[in-house]
Structure 1
Amino acid sequence: MKITRAWVNICSPGRNFVTLKVETDEGFYGLGDATLNGREMAVASYLTEHVVPCIIGRDPFQTEDIWQYLYRGAYWRRGPVTMAAIAAVDVALWDIKGKALQTPVYNLLGGKSREGVLVYAHAHGNSTEEVIADVQKHMEMGYLAVRAQSAIPGLDSTYGVPKKAQPYEPAERGLPSESRWSSELYLRHTPRLFEKLRAAIGEDVHLLHDVHHRLTPIEAARLGKELEPFHLFWMEDPVPAELQEGFKIIREHTTTPVATGEVFHSIWDAHDLIRNQWIDYIRMSVVHSGGLTHLKKVADFASLYHVRTGCHGATDLSPVTMAAALHFGIAVHNFGIQEHMPHSAETNAVFPHAYSFKAGYMYPGDAPGLGVDLDESLAKKYPYQRAYLPINRRLDGTLTDW
């Protein structure tokens, strides 16, 4: 079998997605997600100009060799653009292999390690009362784990909380907006939020929280310690992770589990975090970390150090990535949890899929390959629209991490 054609589809059914479609001479095709929120066209160009010409004529079953070719052969390694492009090819090839062998991708990754994939939803509100009500709503929907984010008194906007009564989507059309941030106000409010939340809902649901890289290590250590009585499933991205040693300070001061990695691109971004057991969950996504071939290696390495997976699964990743993450999550032994932000009806129509949700768990389905397709005719009705993630500044105007 040989790859005969590959091309990029860019569409925007509510938000932008970049999809690679790879065809073979035996009639099989595979899909790979290449979406990089706010930098979509950079990945599309990288694929079209540099990657696609290099895979024509190759055997799609040789996923390991093709992965190494695209990673090592480019000389300039890693980075979000490169790794998203490699991931798109890699996932499309796994999809082709599953279809050609008439089996779901999870069987190619070792088969099922569990019956369902535990997922967590997102709850938010402009007040503690609204957050409590939203968590309870998701519990009624069947979720067993919920991430809680709250507006911070004294700040006009906050990560994880939509500005209007609509699903949260941080990317905005047009040029980047700017928001204001105060770690002091945040640290004062957040423990109180979870104290009231636990009192209202009890212990019957896992609670998670995303700090979104905004604290220093000692601030994060303080927050983790103050959150200990409320038994969080994890505290996510407490600090920027370029300095991996910063997590040592957090680990030494709190037993609140720590998760990080959604902006990581390779195992080297997490090597010390995992090896030193400074984190409990690695959150690398299929699309931003080079695909299933590389992510499986990350999971195997993490398993040696009691670190479990918790793949990023926001709506800035298409249903192709969600499907790949579910096949991955149901197969790897050290799976932890999967983020689940439901896509819009428009997105689901463009990307019909076999995966499903029931009573707190998601299931990849048993369709050959990934079980996701692309309605190219419908996708044409949603042309690309430039969008950016916000910019964050402290109250004194200093640019800080968003």
Structure 2
Amino acid sequence: MKIVDAKVIVTCPGRNFVTIKIITEDGIYGIGDATLNGRELAVASYLADHLIPCLIGRDAGQIEDIWQFFYRGAYWRGGPVGMTALAAIDVALWDIKAKAANMPLYQLLGGRSRSGVMVYGHANGNTVEETVEEVGRYIDMGYKAIRAQTGVPGLASTYGVSKDKLFYEPADADLPTENEWDTARYLEHVPTLFRTLRDTYGYDRHLLHDVHHRLTPIEAGRLGKDLEPFRLFWLEDAVSAELQEGFRLIRQHTTTPLAVGEVFASIHNCHQLITEQLIDYIRTTIVHGGGISHIRRIAHLAELYHVRTGFHGATDLSPITMGAALHFDTWVPNFGIQEYMRHTPETDEVFPHDYTFEDGYLIVGDTPGHGVDINEELAAKYEYERAYLPVNRLSDGTMFNW
């Protein structure tokens, strides 16, 4: 299956997506997601100018060799731009191989380990009362697991709280929006949210919360301890994880399960966290972690240390990544949960797919490949629009983690 053509498609059906399409001499094509929120064109250029020229003429079936060629062959290896581009190629090649075998991708990986993939949705509100109401709406929709975020009194805006409650998009401006952050107010307020949620709905549903890298390890330990009575499914991204050993301090102070890794680009970013059992869920996503070939290595390492997968699944990942992730989730033995933020109808029209939501689970179809396609004619109607994620400052003006 010689590769005869490949191209990059940039489209913006409400938000920007980058897609690679790889075509073989047999007429079989595969598509991969190359979206990196706020840096989309950097990945598009890396693919078009540096990787695609090296793809033409290669055997599309040699997925591992191609992965190693682009990883080991790049002296300046790794990083979010490079690994996102490599992931796009890798997923497209797995799509081709599964189509050539006339089987859904999960069968090529090893078959089903479960009938459906439990997912969690995002409930949020400006106040505790609004968030409680939104959680109830997700329960009514059938979700068994719900992430809950609320506004913090005294702050004009808070991560995870949006006007649109179903299609949250944080990249909100042509230049970065500057938000204000106050750790003390946040730490005081969050336990109130989860106490109210448990008083209202009991313990029949899983509840999750995302800190978004805004605490120090000792602050995270305090929050985790304060939340223990409410039995969270996980506390996500409590601290910035560049200092992996910082999680040791958190572990000393709380038994609340910890999840991290959506910004990781390789197994090296999470090696210590996994081997020292400092986390419970690894969230590195297929699109930013080098594709199926590399994420599979992370999952196997995690399995040895009782760490489960909990892939990132926000709206800045196209349905291609969601489709590939669901096939991976359906197979991987140490699956934990899958984030699921619904895409807009415009996005779903550009990327038709065969996965469906049923009673708190996403179910993959049996279409050969990863089950997601792209309508190129429709995609061409949505031109790229520059958009940045916000930035954060403390009340005294100091730059902080967003």
Q: TM class, shorter-chain normalised?
A: over 0.9
Q: Which amino acid aligns with 1:206?
A: H
What corresponds to 1:347 in structure 2?
347
Q: Which amino acid aligns with 1:223?
A: L
* TM-score normalised by L of structure 2: 0.99
Superposition map of 1:29-108 within 5 A: 29-108=29-108
Q: CA deviation at 1:277?
A: 0.1
Q: Alpha carbons of 1:364 and 1:166: their partners in 2 closer, same or farther (altered >3 Å)?
A: closer
Decide whether the 8 Å contact of 2:213 with 2:401 is kept in 1.
yes
Superposition map of 1:200-349 within 5 A: 200-349=200-349
Identical positions, percent: 63
What corresponds to 1:188 in structure 2?
188
Q: CA deviation at 1:173?
A: 3.1
What corresponds to 2:139 in structure 1?
139
Decide whether the 8 Å contact of 2:167 with 2:343 is kept in 1.
no
* TM-score normalised by L of structure 1: 0.99
Q: Which amino acid aligns with 2:147?
A: R
* Cα deviation code 1:312-335 (max 9, x no counterpart): 000000000000000000000000
- Equivalent position SS for 1:302: helix
* Cα deviation code 1:59-78 (max 9, x no counterpart): 11111111011101011111
* Cα deviation code 1:131-153 (max 9, x no counterpart): 11100100010000000000000
Decide whether the 8 Å contact of 1:178 with 1:391 is kept in 2.
yes
Decide whether the 8 Å contact of 2:32 with 2:91 is kept in 1.
yes
Distance in 2 separating the partners of 1:25 and 1:221? 56
Decide whether the 8 Å contact of 1:173 with 1:385 is kept in 2.
no
* Cα deviation code 1:231-255 (max 9, x no counterpart): 0000000000000011010011100
Distance in 2 separating the partners of 1:62 and 1:111? 21
Segments of 5+ residues of structure 2 without an aligned counterpart are: none
Decide whether the 8 Å contact of 2:167 with 2:341 is kept in 1.
no
Decide whether the 8 Å contact of 1:259 with 1:280 is kept in 2.
yes
Q: Which amino acid aligns with 1:188?
A: E
What corresponds to 2:118 in structure 1?
118
Q: CA deviation at 1:163?
A: 4.4
Q: Which amino acid aligns with 2:289?
A: S
Distance in 2 separating the partners of 1:65 and 1:166? 40
Q: CA deviation at 1:165?
A: 6.3
Decide whether the 8 Å contact of 2:191 with 2:226 is kept in 1.
yes
Q: Which amino acid aligns with 1:239?
A: V
Decide whether the 8 Å contact of 1:175 with 1:387 is kept in 2.
yes
Distance in 1 separating the partners of 2:27 and 2:101? 13
Q: Which amino acid aligns with 1:383?
A: E
Greater shift in the superposed pair: 366-375 or 162-171 = 162-171
Q: CA deviation at 1:168?
A: 1.8
Distance in 1 separating the partners of 2:95 and 2:164? 38
Q: Which amino acid aligns with 1:304?
A: L
- Equivalent position SS for 1:387: coil
Decide whether the 8 Å contact of 2:173 with 2:389 is kept in 1.
no
What corresponds to 1:129 in structure 2?
129
Distance in 2 separating the partners of 1:250 and 1:60? 45
Structure 1 vs Structure 2 CA RMSD: 0.8
- Equivalent position SS for 1:388: coil
Pair 1:151-2:151 in alignment: yes
What corresponds to 2:364 in structure 1?
364
Q: Alpha carbons of 1:211 and 1:354: their partners in 2 closer, same or farther (altered >3 Å)?
A: same
Q: Alpha carbons of 1:112 and 1:184: their partners in 2 closer, same or farther (altered >3 Å)?
A: same
